[in-house]
Amino acid sequence: MSLNDLFKQELKVVNLGLKSFHNDLKSQGVTVVQVNWKPKAGGKKNMLNLLSKLNKVKQS
What is the rounded distance in angstroms from the CA atom of residue 14 to the CA atom of residue 20? 13
Q: Which one, 3 or 57, has the nearer CB to other proteins?
A: 57
Q: What is the DSSP string of 23-44?
A: HHHHHTT-EEEEE----GGGG-
Determine if 14 is a binding residue for other proteins (CB under 8 A).
no
CB of 56: closest distance to other proteins in angstroms? 4
Q: Closest distance between other proteins and the C-beta of residue 15, in Å?
A: 18
Helix (H) or strand (E) holding 51: helix 45-54
Q: Shortest gap between Cβ of 39 and other proteins (angstroms)?
A: 8
